[in-house]
Chains A and B, each alone.
Chain A
Amino acid sequence: KQEVTQIPAALSVPEGENLVLNCSFTDSAIYNLQWFRQDPGKGLTSLLLIQSSQREQTSGRLNASLDKSSGRSTLYIAASQPGDSATYLCVLTQGGSEKLVFGKGMKLTVNP
């Protein structure tokens, strides 16, 4: 059974730091992997999607990488800002399945 782990569960950093958020998964047979952001009381906003054939995707200050062989994905946030404070979720689609597998998320706080 596929399991997605995000460690640590929470992180607090000063503004301006470059951050690496980690996601690990147990089964490398994935179709794609998405990183979402969730603000308190809000829905999930898609940040980046990496297909299984890709190694990384970039959007602005965000860069996501995927290493299927080691079962890892990282989300890199450059020059963090207080507005980056949110919960970040790693979500993957298992190969051959229409279902998603969710990590439990990492709550990020960026202090001014």
Chain B
Amino acid sequence: NAGVTQTPKFRVLKTGQSMTLLCAQDMNHEYMYWYRQDPGMGLRLIHYSVGEGTTAKGEVPDGYNVSRLKKQNFLLGLESAAPSQTSVYFCASSYFLPGHRNEQFFGPGTRLTVL
């Protein structure tokens, strides 16, 4: 099992450009999450999904859109990138069954720089 993978690993954008980050998991997890990590801020939730075809806003959703067309994939889109979106982005997944461990698994991260 590959676990949680993220594509790309690094990216540099100019202000106003758009891009899509791809997260894929092969553990048949229902729940998937996108976080950003900034120095001194810890990890903050951008958007999440509790199943195929569903998405919900997290703590810092502005400037981002997401889609979960397939259970194994969760896409994060930046329509018009801004320097404030320079960050490291992490995807995570888990199942959520009452009485179970419900462990979270994280991807390796995508380092995005917006000039």
Contacts and interface: CB of A to CB of B under 8 A. Distances in A.
Contact of A98 (B96, B103, B105, B108): B96
B109 A42 contact: yes
A55 to B, nearest CB: 15
Contacts, number: 48
Nearest to A44: B106
Given A43-B109, A103-B42, A98 B31 contact: yes
A51 interface: yes
Given A93-B102, A98-B50, A98-B96, A43 B107 contact: yes
Contacts of B42: 102-105
Given A32-B101, A99-B58, A42 B45 contact: no
B101 A49 contact: yes
Nearest to A103: B42
25 contacts: A31-B102, A32-B102, A34-B104, A41-B111, A42-B108, A43-B90, A43-B108, A43-B109, A44-B90, A44-B92, A44-B106, A45-B106, A91-B104, A93-B102, A98-B31, A98-B96, A99-B58, A100-B33, A100-B45, A100-B92, A102-B42, A103-B42, A104-B40, A104-B41, A104-B42
A-B interface, 5 closest residue pairs, ranked by CB to CB distance from nearest: A44-B106, A104-B42, A43-B108, A102-B43, A43-B106
